[in-house]
Chains A and B, each alone.
Chain A
Amino acid sequence: MTKLYKALTTVTLAGAIAALSAPAMARDTISIVGSSTVYPFATVVAERFGRNTDFATPKIESTGSGGGLKLFCQGVGTQHPDITNASRRMKKSEFDMCQANGVKEITEVRIGADGIVMANSKEAEKLDLSLKQIFLALAKDVPNPDGSNELVANPYMNWSEIDASLPNIAISVMGPPPTSGTRDAFVELAMESGCKQFPMIAQMEDEDEDKFKTVCHSMRDDGPFVEAGENDNLIVQRLAQDPETLGIFGYSFLMENTGQIQAATVNGVEPTPEAISSDQYPVARSLWFYVKKAHVGVVPGIQEYISEFTSEGTWGDNGYLVDVGLIPSPRNERMRIAKAVKELTLMTGNEL
């Protein structure tokens, strides 16, 4: 039995050594974190990049825009990610956090746009919503329906109560949670714009901006709006089962599931690639990624990866990202960004 004893000690020791020898290892795989909206685009580029070059395929974690920027800004060194994807622009506070942690040199890349759609099952009636109606359906507090100048808790439970032109069904909308970039963008683009159309609230913007933000950015929590998690696929499945429910998600998911779901027009505009890239469709947002310049040349392949991402064959009008649902930026803007990427132009913080 001494054998057993010996074996036991050896294994324990081996385990302990493996556990404690913290290797500050050089990394040869690019580490990317960030938005779940950019994830489908970044993974396609990364896989091609790994397949068609001698570099290892970059590793991509889907952490959400905020989570990604937090990891990205933690510091310089191979234990920190090299690139972070975001479905909204970096905030000034995040830029400052990066600076404070020594991540001073950052290159910003805008890769294109994505529309946010409100869709329902094809079996249901196709909706035509205005931003104002969206706000009234989903906000926590809305102007009193009797016309007086005060805010009341959202009383609308049926679409037809908001406007007679809308169907007489209960409001039931599934959307992303607050950690998601899709939610940030939806709140900013749809809710806030709808909210501003009420004179009393628009007035508030000048007087008390904090209060304005609270009113316009608060989603209702009394049932009609359901937070459905980051998994847009689950929302699509639920919509197909329940024709009375609407879902909020990115345009690429609509494109992949045109057999089952249809998008509502917003302010009369159908969410098509043309309408989204030309800003006619009101609920569209830009997609970004941020590169840590200090890691370029340390982790092999970063420069090559970002030039693959910003080549015409990738993000151009006929690039392969279009097949996955990216809506390209206009050509002159692409050219400008591609040049900035080549030179690794740094952010100053003033552009935010």
Chain B
Amino acid sequence: MTDQRSQAEIVRKSLKRRYRTERRFRLYGILAIFIALASLFILFADIISKGHTGFVKTTITLDVTLDSGMMYLDDPTDLDQWSSADFKAPIIAALQAQVPQAASAAEKRELGRFLGTFADSEIRDLLTKNPELLNTTQTIEFPTHDRVSVYVKHADNPQYSIKLSEQQQLWVDELLQKGIIDTSFNDVLFSRGDSREPANAGVLGAIVGSLLTMLVTLAISFPVGIAAAVYLEEFAPQNKLTDFIEVNINNLAAVPSIIFGLLGLAVFINLFGMPRSVPVVGGLVLALMTLPTIIISSRAAIKSVPPSIREAAEGVGASKMQVVLHHVVPLAMPGMLTGSIIGMAQALGETAPLLLIGMVAFIVDVPDGLFSSATVLPVQIYLWASSSEQGFVELASAAIMVLLTFMIIMNALAIWLRKRLERRW
């Protein structure tokens, strides 16, 4: 009796301490979540604060008179004249008409520096397509040079250095007031490939490259992964060989991705003689990388199908293959899809293996097939982040936002599929 009472006494005494440890334990959990959320928030805030200006472009809109005399181009069909024509002269003349005080040759040259590098190419392309426009006046929108763009967007941001002279700044201010220089939504970002000039650079090439690469990855890793998982789970005999394969698949999932790049270089490029920098090779390498993830998650999905379903199917006389294809695989499909989508999202963000197979490259043309040179989104971000022009800082952050959007869509799709198709028993 005394014994029991003393025991109850001990419990009561320790109760306070035990409650306290439990509260502390919960607090640790909340703290961990808080730290995770805070770092996520800081990351997003940093990217968005740096990147939102990347979605804005600075343009100069001018009424350009395409005067044949000024361009030394009387006859647009004459190729010699064409190659020696001065397509920049009419633009500078139009710009100078807006800033009449810039009259000397040196000042005109200074004005010309407001324009992006390819302003004259734009006029030439326009005249190539529509030769009848010669000697007419056209309203054309040109991208500004990086220097002007930085001044217009970031004049009071100490992180940027303004490289316009005071004279030039005055002119830009004047043009801004007149509405000649203006900012608008950066559609170039979504309609062009890479460029060395921030005003002409876009992520379209990288997005198409990523899609082509992911297509190859999906076409290979999904069927192979599921076939492997079904065989291992449903048909493989329990023996040492199966164990060995299982251990290896699990190990493969933890192999650093750069190793897969080395493998791709040795096998696909050096042995099979496939070209460098193409989405097919990139897709194959990433498929190898995602395979273990898909196999492991598919096996887990198959395992979670209750044995009663198999037994019932077998009970009504279904063959082993019918059991698997008619019942087990369809029921496990949500889990398999989720695993595959998460694997693909991982592959979408991968750069290291692509470095070795040449997909980290300056590629301007938007890829038009599985065998044309391409790069992918994360690589584009890396390339821009290491460029010296100031305009690429905001573009890199903008590209990160595009990539994150794709990631969020893919992960949301995975969650939606799971919610929608999941069956509970």
Contact = CB atoms under 8 A, between A and B. Distances in A.
On whether the two chains bind one another, the answer is yes
Contacts of B364: 46-47, 50, 57
B362 A12 contact: no
A244 B385 CA distance: 24
A253 to B, nearest CB: 5
Nearest to A233: B386
A231 B360 CA distance: 14
B390 A25 contact: no
B269 interface: yes
Interface string A303-326: 000000000000000001000010
Nearest to A259: B161
Given A233-B385, A258-B161, A78 B362 contact: no
Interface residues of A, number: 53
Contacts of A14: 219
A234 B363 CA distance: 23
B22 interface: no
A136 to B, nearest CB: 31
B358 A61 contact: yes
A22 interface: yes
Interface in B296-350: 325-326, 329-330
A234 B386 CA distance: 7
B117 interface: yes
Interface string B17-55: 000000000000000000000000000000000000000
Nearest to B201: A47
A256 B370 CA distance: 37
Interface in A51-66: 51-52, 56-57, 59-62
A232 B390 CA distance: 13
Contacts of A257: 161, 388
B388 A79 contact: no
Interface stretch (A37-45, A186-194, A203-211, A327-335): A37-45
B227 interface: yes
B363 A256 contact: no
B162 A78 contact: no
B160 interface: yes
A296 B363 CA distance: 21
B216 A8 contact: no
Interface string A1-34: 1101100100110110011101111010101010
Interface string B202-229: 0000000000000010011011101100
B405 interface: no
A1 B388 contact: no
B115 interface: no
Given A15-B223, A233-B386, A256-B390, A59 B275 contact: no
B196 A47 contact: yes
Contacts of A230: 386
B220 A56 contact: no
A77 to B, nearest CB: 8
A57 B161 contact: no
A15 B215 CA distance: 10
A11 B220 CA distance: 8
B280 A59 contact: no
Given A40-B196, A233-B385, A11 B223 contact: yes
B371 interface: yes
Contacts of A4: 325, 329-330
Contacts of B387: 40, 233
Contacts of A19: 220, 280, 284
B389 interface: yes
Nearest to B326: A1
Contacts of B183: none
B277 interface: yes
A55 to B, nearest CB: 10
B269 to A, nearest CB: 7
A339 interface: no
Interface in A258-272: 258-260
Given A22-B274, A31-B277, 19 more contacts: A1-B325, A1-B326, A11-B222, A11-B223, A19-B284, A23-B274, A25-B371, A39-B362, A40-B387, A59-B363, A60-B362, A61-B276, A61-B277, A79-B273, A232-B386, A232-B388, A233-B386, A259-B161, A260-B161
Nearest 6 A/B pairs, CB to CB: A259-B161, A57-B364, A22-B272, A256-B388, A15-B220, A60-B362
6 contacts: A1-B326, A4-B329, A18-B280, A47-B195, A48-B117, A258-B163
